[in-house]
Amino acid sequence: MPEPNRKGCLKSILPSDSPETFRIWRKSVWRSGPKSLLQWMKPFVVAAVCLGMLCFILLAGIICVFAYYPTDTRYHNLIKERVQLQINYTTLIKERDHLLCLNNWKIFGCKFYYISTDHKNWIDSRQDCQGRGADLVIINSREEQTFIKSFKNKAWIGLNNREVKKSWKWVDGSPLTTSYWDSGKPNNYGGAEDCVEMAVGGNWNDASCKETRQWICERPFN
């Protein structure tokens, strides 16, 4: 009668499938003591441990799926909300630009610009701008000058020397540093040209403050 061995599988150690043979083999195992029994059981213990580990891994996987699924849903909801906010933002920007356009305002950089359709002298033009929460435009850069030229009309800008002759100042009190005078200007024609207009070509001309022109206002966003 073969002894159960370490690789043991019941079928491999039994010589036949007869009940009598199995009974004799069982007696032999019990008679040979606990050590032999343990050796016989070892493959089954290993199999049970493996099965237990497999169940543990499966359970952990299920827990992970249920734990992460809500997070995944929240992530997709956030993506949807962000897309919706972008759509709303784009719509609002279009509506804002449409309203600004209807009221003759334009946006350049971080500023609003208003070009009048009416004509006024320089002082009244400035007062109109101030009534709109703005002031006559101050040209701070070549880019802004190029933008202003796009209006293509004679228009007052916020530069003058009404206080001190030949001392050109912007409406915020700052001195003129960079200029875009038209050729031969300023010429102080007739001795009383103390205000500055954007000429038709886009460069500047000094003119009498009493002349009536369109005007350009500038204001910050807030």
> Site residues (CB under 5 A) for Ca ion?
138, 140, 187, 189, 193, 205-206
Closest approach of Ca ion to the CB of residue 144, in Å? 5
Computed on alpha carbons and rounded to an integer, the radius of gyration of the chain in Å comes to: 46
Closest approach of Ca ion to the CB of residue 73, in Å? 49
One-letter amino acid at 150 equals: S
Instruction: Provide the token pair at 211.
Output: 């002349």
Closest approach of Ca ion to the CB of residue 207, in Å? 6
Minimum CB distance to Ca ion smaller for 42 or for 181: 181
Minimum CB distance to Ca ion smaller for 128 or for 195: 195
Closest approach of Ca ion to the CB of residue 201, in Å? 14
Minimum CB distance to Ca ion smaller for 61 or for 109: 109
Minimum CB distance to Ca ion smaller for 167 or for 187: 187
Minimum CB distance to Ca ion smaller for 194 or for 206: 206
